[in-house]
Amino acid sequence: MSGVKLSNVRKSFGAHDVIKDVSLEVPKGEFGVFVGPSGCGKSTLLRMIAGLEESSGGRIEIGGRDVTQVEPAKRGVAMVFQSYALYPHLSVAENMGFSLRLARAPRHEREEKVREAARILQLTDHLDKKPSALSGGQRQRVAIGRAIVREPDVFLFDEPLSNLDAELRVQMRLELTRLHNQIGATMIYVTHDQVEAMTLADDIFVLKGGHVMQAGRPLALYDDPDNRFVAGFIGSPA
């Protein structure tokens, strides 16, 4: 298991400074949430941790190892996206085991990991079904299952619930908390939804315009916001 540490991380797209000197740490086994309005740089930051986006400066450490120049597959992270495409012609089990097949893992090992992920996600009775036969929430669980079978040290979630309806989002939030308690991996979760952030996070990082405005435990931010932006965003009446 590994924590994630960013030191003075920056990202520019041309002349546009999207991430400006971000330093933060999500200790190992914790659930960290990056929250902020659309366009503040949440996805860019997450993609840099995953190695899908090159940083323009600074240092990214996972489990104490400098991974700033390490390729994505060797960082020990798995990412779950907002819009997840499942393979329609493959079963749930085949969808979940796909990356292991690409990595040429032996069949018995693949099957065992898929079975374990299905157990955690309550998909055991659906393993032979095609994605089209699943509900929206079940499909999202399959997408999370694809990450679980890879046994990453760090899970990265980019607004994974934002395409689900309100009722299902509440249910999936509870499931994510349960998942975190059960497997204990470090998780970093990106959202623009304050309620989601408050209910899921061990630590919240409030972002605005490529800066961390404030970081801390949800209740600490709620009770003692540093500034009006955080107060307004987290919803305290300060």
Residues that bind ligand ADP (CB under 6 A): 13, 16, 18, 36, 38-44
To ligand ADP, the closest distance from the beta carbon of 40 in angstroms equals 4
Q: Counting contacts by CB under 5 A, is residue 68 touching Mg ion?
A: no
To Mg ion, the closest distance from the beta carbon of 40 in angstroms equals 9
The answer to whether residues 213 and 31 touch, using CB atoms and an 8 Å cutoff, is no
Q: Counting contacts by CB under 5 A, is residue 43 touching Mg ion?
A: yes
Pick 13 or 87: Cβ nearer ligand ADP: 13
Pairing of strands 211-216, 203-208: antiparallel
To ligand ADP, the closest distance from the beta carbon of 44 in angstroms equals 3
Pick 2 or 194: Cβ nearer ligand ADP: 194
Pick 43 or 194: Cβ nearer Mg ion: 43
Q: Which stretch binds Mg ion (CB under 5 A): 38-46, 122-130, 149-157, 173-181?
A: 38-46
To Mg ion, the closest distance from the beta carbon of 22 in angstroms equals 15
- The beta strand positions in 27-165, using DSSP E, are 31-35, 57-62, 65-66, 77-80, 154-158
Backbone angles phi, psi at 130, to 5 degrees: -85, 155
Pick 91 or 214: Cβ nearer ligand ADP: 214
CA distances, 222 to each of 8, 37, 48, 193 (Å): 26, 17, 28, 15
Pick 96 or 161: Cβ nearer Mg ion: 161
Question: What does the block give as tokens for 2?
Answer: 């590994």
Question: What does the block give as tokens for 10?
Answer: 């920056």
Q: Which stretch binds Mg ion (CB under 5 A): 41-49, 50-58, 69-77, 218-226?
A: 41-49
40 makes contact, choosing from ligand ADP, Mg ion, none, with CB < 5 to 8 Å by partner type, with ligand ADP
Residue nearest to Mg ion (CB): 43
Pick 11 or 110: Cβ nearer ligand ADP: 11
DSSP one-letter code for 225: -
41 makes contact, choosing from Mg ion, ligand ADP, none, with CB < 5 to 8 Å by partner type, with ligand ADP
To ligand ADP, the closest distance from the beta carbon of 90 in angstroms equals 29
CA distance 80 to 64: 23
CA distances, 65 to each of 1, 2, 19, 74, 76 (Å): 12, 9, 22, 11, 11
Please report how the helices 107-120 and 136-148 are oriented relative to each other, as an axis angle in degrees rounded to 10. 130
How many C-beta neighbours within 10 Å does residue 222 have? 19
Contacts to Mg ion by CB under 5 A: 43
